[in-house]
Amino acid sequence: MELATPPGVLLESLPSLYVHLPFCKSRCRYCDFNAWVWKGQDLGRLVDALLQEAELRVPGLRPQTFFLGGGTPSLLPPEELLRLLQGLDAILDFRDSSLESSMEANPESFDEATAEAAVAGGLNRISIGAQSFRPPVLAAYDRPHGPEDIEKAVASARGAGFENLNLDLIFAFPGQDPLEWEADLNRALRLGPQHLSCYELTFEPGTPLTRKRDAGRMEEEDSDLCLHLFDRTLEICSEAGLDRYEISNFSLPGMACLHNLAGWRRLPLVGIGPGACGWGDGVHRKNISDPAAWQADLEGGGDGLEESSTPNSQTSAFEHLMMGLRLEKEGVRLSRVKESTGVNVEDLPGDPLALLVAEGLLEILSGPEGRVLRATPAGFPLLDHSLQRLLPEGRG
Amino acid sequence: MSKKLPLHRIRNFSIIAHIDHGKSTLADRLMEHAGAVDKNRSRDQLLDSMDLERERGITIKAASVALEVDVRGEMHLLNLIDTPGHVDFSYEVEKSLQACEGALLLIDAAQGIQAQTVANATLAMDQDMEVIPVLNKIDLPHARPEEVLEQLEHVLLLESESCISCSAKTGKGVEELIEAVVDRVPAPTGDQDNPLRALIFDAKYDEYRGVIVNLRMVDGVIRKGDMVHMLGAKADYEVLELGKFTPDPKPCDSLEPGEVGYLISNIKKLGDVHIGDTLTVQKGERASRLPGYREPQPMVWCGLYPVRSGDFENLRSALNTLKLNDSSLVFEPESSDALGFGFRCGFLGLLHMEIVQERLERESGLDIVQTAPTVPYEILMQGGNLHTIHSPGELPESNLYEEIREPVVTTHLLIPVEAIGAIMHLCSERRGRFLRQEHLSPTRVMLTWDLPLSEIIFDFYDKLKSGTRGYGTMNMDEPRFEAADLVKLRILVGGNEADALSIICHKEVAERRGRSVLRKLQKEIPRHQFEVALQASIGGKIVARESIRALSKNVTAKCYGGDITRKRKLLEQQKKGKKRMKSIGNVEVPQKAFLAVLSTDE
Ligand SMILES: Nc1nc2c(ncn2[C@@H]2O[C@H](COP(=O)(O)OP(=O)(O)OP(=O)(O)O)[C@@H](O)[C@H]2O)c(=O)[nH]1
Ligand code: SF4
Ligand SMILES: [Mg+2]
């Protein structure tokens, strides 16, 4: 109902573009992204390959949002970063078409020169991976930076002219005093970000942190405490004028991340780079994850694709709900799900939606744009539970 | 195996003993002696061929092997059967003994006579067969052969001079042992010219070859291509393959009296194969039936339910297949409000139950939920009818019956003298009735108690072991039923009675049991998005309550446009994990919780 951004800012038919830079200085212990420790691989050739993929697959794309993510894009030397951005612009014309052009940066590698290259390359939003301001926590995560590096990186961004700045933070570190998280959050807010992403620490399958937990050497925080931290985060951010518009995302009014919004609304997405995923015309596309293999494929005349798949209409409808219900106030427009997948989710076998509504976990509102499904305040922190019940039976 | 050996050159014997006294190891040495297996192979206890046997280091299934051995210049055919030692598999021992004329009774020279030594020796002696006592593990530094020989005379009334000493580990004494088998075990009797008569003493289902039937030949000759008839099942089959286990299956053209081997036919109906049945000819004069086997007497019962309700028929066929290889398994269909359709299954003990469930899951790939085990009860109804129930759910309303009778067993406990006090205390705590105390030697004593089966079947053995620093063993007689002050403890989950969780227990401990079951459930049932109330009730009165707090937060922290497929798959996996659970009302209960009622913790 309450859109996270004024209607008409993002168009349903236009694509967004994501470019993946797969290398990091070191590997964080909680991380399950497609990230690889940089061991001197030729970054110039990597940039060439990225440009080559863009040229090959989507020349003249004119995306409505642009996002350079990773890994750690700030790992690129300034001149390579600039070459990449200018090259992409020449192929895609993103500076003209894009409402928002973001880049991820890590504190240890985001200096003035890099910030200036980013601005010169046409970027207008920066997202800095702060994660925590506490040295022991950063050490437990194996982050290659200290708290002061975060402040320096913010200063570099501001100095180069970034007016739209996000900080990534993680809460619910096992055994941490809740007040320590509040202190972290307040310290981040003092840096005056336009946007904050506050993630609960997740024990993803296969990460060193998860192995440590499974070996009994670390205990996940109790869900009551996580809820408390989640609620406190909301209160503290609201006091600072940042609204929550998604599970983990907060922004000053009108400063929600458009690129990510497009993802939650499930608008078309083009992914360039190793392991990058895309979506459009009913097809999921995923690139080869291993940077060397992806690069070799492109250099050998391939298109870097690992697999593409076409989910059936039930699965596709579920994906709309899975993404859209994350938008706290906006929710999912049911008519849009119907239009794009042919499935009326109010008509599913066994009617799980009605049950979830009856249990007070979801609600359906009627408005000018038709019926909108969203999580209730009680159901919002339990979204995965609701989603599991909405999952189509059998394989998708 | 080229030429057939005459009857007087054949010996059939089982190796029997208490668990771990070295039966399978001795079988290794005997096979090596016969040159049947490579001495330098990497595996020990070769006849323990099931994965489960190797993982647990115990024999579960009896295994037979035919060996040709030169004894004092003459070839002999030795058919040996290695049997399990654990009390839960004593039915296997019984079946094996009936295919033999003699038994090697192994006794660990360090541990001496243990409860299953006595029990298995009794089984053999009851069949009037030659029992050769064998003192094994004499290589052990703490072996005490004199003391054990004394026990042998005293407890089993076997002459110590008849005993052979050996080490199954080093091979010392094995040759002497083989000579003793040839000299002392009678050759089988039987007549080639009589009509075919063979005992079906085991079988198994092989994915590629169908049913493989194990035979002990008594009379007549069976040849490849013959038409045969199973007397009990009244079924006819053509013999497609005959062979012997050497120990690998090795085809042969015929089997003659005294021989042990296998038969393969195109047996389609598993139900046609009855262990203990007699095989004879289809046409012409048929033999009379061999004595066969007594029905197994299950001591513990539990429900087995498929996790996916659509798998009921698959579970039935899996049970039938397993029953072929484990004839002590008993089952009948049942249904539960909470769990749907499944089977009530009877087992010879808890280990047997555990093994059956594992084998079912491994061999059929089904996911199974098991309810808490219970002993059987006899219910004396108003009006005098007596009937047996195998599940607490079957207990009628209390106004409909006069009394509940529980199985009581006379239990023999072989323990070191210094543990008498501790074990006496344990038995009286378990509602036991003391019968007598006998000294077997200056250091060992046998206590005999009457104990309710329900009090000993679950954790009594562990307590016995810890109370005797590992040196205590026990053996039980057949159960009989006696009236007792028993009540049904019902468990309610989220307000719904969970019939699969209810138990029958003694009135005096019922409240305490109720509280401990609820505490266990509280740990085992995962948090839901609502609070789950747990209650225990006796005769309509709530005697204990607990609750499981609602899950407060369960949402993926990080999920963006590029992650869609991966995150969806993660949700699918989590949901699949939940499918291994059964729901009671709207509460998902995992398998482990159904066993919570087992615990008797304080
Ligand atoms: N030192 C010594 N160890 C032995 C001897 N015979 C067997 N063992 C060991 O005793 C253990 C049990 O041996 P098994 O042959 O598996 O015993 P089992 O009687 O077949 O056991 P179940 O089939 O489970 O009843 C193994 O670790 C053997 O290596 C022996 O003569 N000397
Ligand atoms: S910097 Fe980011 S992408 Fe790289 S390892 Fe750490 S969390 Fe993963
Ligand atoms: Mg064995």
Q: Do B76 and B136 belong together in one domain?
A: yes
Q: Which two tokens stand for residue B312?
A: 């009921």
Q: Report the amino acid identity of residue B378.
A: E
* b/e map A14-53, b = 16+ CB within 10 Å: bbbbbbbbbbbbeebbbbbbbbbebeeeebeebbbbbbbb
Residue B17 domain-assigned (yes or no): yes
The answer on B474 and B342 residing in a single domain is no
Round to whole Å and give the CA distance between A53 and A297: 10
**Minimal-distance CA residue to ligand 1 atom 11:** B20
- Reduced to 3 states (helix: H, G, I; strand: E, B; else coil), residue B64 is strand
Binned at pLDDT 50, 70 and 90, residue B591 comes out as confident
What is the pTM for the complete model shown? Answer: 0.70
In this prediction, residue A9 carries a pLDDT of 84
B271 and B410 housed in the same domain: no
Phi-psi region of B240 (alpha: psi -120 to 50; beta: other; left: phi over 0): alpha
The ligand 1 atom nearest the CA atom of B168: 31
pLDDT (0 to 100) of residue A130: 98
CATH number at residue B474: 3.30.70.240
Q: Is B555 on the interface with A (CB under 8 A)?
A: yes
B202 Cα–ligand 1 center, Å: 24
Ligand 1 pocket residue status of B111, Cβ below 6 Å? no
Average pLDDT over residues B46-74: 93
pLDDT at A395: 42
Q: Is residue B346 part of a domain?
A: yes
CB-CB under 8 Å, A269 with B561: yes
The verdict on residue B295 lying in a domain is: no
Query: Both B474 and B502 in a single domain?
Result: no
Report the residue among B15, B19, B21, B25 best suited for mutation to probe ligand 1: largest number of ligand atoms under 8 A from its CB: B25
**A:84-143 residues touching chain B, CB 8 A cutoff:** none
Domain boundary among B371, B392, B419: B371
Q: How far apart are CA A306 and CA B565, in angstroms?
A: 14
A16-21, strands of its sheet edge to edge: A243-246, A249-251, A195-200, A164-171, A125-131, A100-105, A65-70, A16-21, A269-272, A277-280, A283-287, A305-309
State in Å, rounded, how far the first CA of chain B is from the last one. 61
Burial A84-120 (b: 16+ CB within 10 A, else e): bbbbbbebbebbebbbbbbbbbbbbbbbeebbbbbbe
CATH number at B590 reads 3.30.70.2570
List, for chain A, all residue ranges whose pLDDT scores fall below the cut of 50: 395-396
Q: A276: which chain B residues are within 8 Å (Cβ-Cβ)?
A: 562
Contact B318, B360 (CB under 8 A): yes
Q: Name residue A340's amino acid.
A: S
**Residue B239 pLDDT exceeds 90:** yes
For residue B593, name the pLDDT band (cuts at 50, 70, 90).
confident
Q: What is the mean pLDDT of residues B581-602?
A: 76
pLDDT at B599: 60
Tokens of B95: 């079946």
Query: What is the model's pLDDT at position B1?
Result: 45
Mean pLDDT is lowest, of A223-232, B336-345, B402-411, B423-432, for: B336-345
Of B126, B157, B184, at which residue does a domain stop? B184
Neighboring chain A residues of B561 at a CB cutoff of 8 Å:
16, 18, 259-260, 262-264, 266, 269, 277, 279, 323
ipTM of the complex: 0.93
Q: B574 and A286 in contact by Cβ < 8 A?
A: no
pLDDT at B442: 84
* Residue B422, SS3 per DSSP: helix
Please tell me the predicted confidence (pLDDT) of residue A7: 63
Query: According to CATH, where is 3.20.20.70 located in chain A?
Result: 16-264
From ligand 3's centre to the CA of B61, what distance in Å? 9
| Beta pairing, strands B401-416 & B377-381 | antiparallel
Cα(A296) to ligand 2 centroid in Å equals 24
Q: Cα(B257)–Cα(B287) distance, rounded to whole angstroms?
A: 14
Spatial separation of the C-alpha atoms in residues A310 and B416, rounded to whole Å = 71
Q: Is the pLDDT of residue B69 over 80?
A: yes
**Chain A, nearest residue to B555 by Cα:** A384
In a domain, B395, yes or no: yes
Domain membership flag for residue B286: no
Gyration radius of chain B over CA positions:
27
The confidence score (pLDDT) of residue B579 equals 67
Interface test with B, best of A277, A316, A393, A395 (most B CBs within 10 A): A277
Residue B53 shares a structural domain with residue B174:
yes
DSSP string, B262-287: EEE-----GGG--TT-EEEESSSSPP
- The last residue of one of the domains, among B162, B184, B206, is B184
Q: Do B400 and B365 belong to one domain?
A: no
Distance CA B233, CA B249 (A): 26
Mean pLDDT, rounded, for B97-109: 96
CATH tag for A16-264 (out of 2.30.40.10, 3.30.420.40, 3.20.20.70, 3.40.50.720): 3.20.20.70
Mean pLDDT of chain B: 91
pLDDT at B258 over 60: yes
Same structural domain, B495 and B589? yes
Quick check: is B82 in a domain?
A: yes
- Please name the residues in contact with B158: beta carbons below 8 A apart, sequence gap of 6 or more: B105, B121, B131, B133, B152
3-state SS string for B113-178: CCHHHHHHHHHHHHCCCEEEEEEECCCCCCCCHHHHHHHHHHHHCCCHHHCEECCCCCCCCHHHHH
**Statement to judge: residues B119 and B233 lie in one domain:** no
Q: Are residues B202 and B173 in the same domain?
A: no
Question: pLDDT at position A1, please?
Answer: 56
Task: Answer positive or negative: Cα dihedral of B275, B278, B280, B283.
Answer: negative
Name the residue type at position B355.
Answer: I
Question: Domain range holding B226?
Answer: 197-281
Structure confidence at residue A394 (pLDDT): 60
Q: Are B560 and A263 in contact (CB under 8 A)?
A: yes
Q: Are residues B420 and B364 in the same domain?
A: no
Q: Are residues B452 and B329 in the same domain?
A: no
- By the 8 A CB rule, do A263 and B562 touch? yes
B137 in a structural domain: yes
CATH number at residue B46: 3.40.50.300
**One domain for residues B86 and B161:** yes
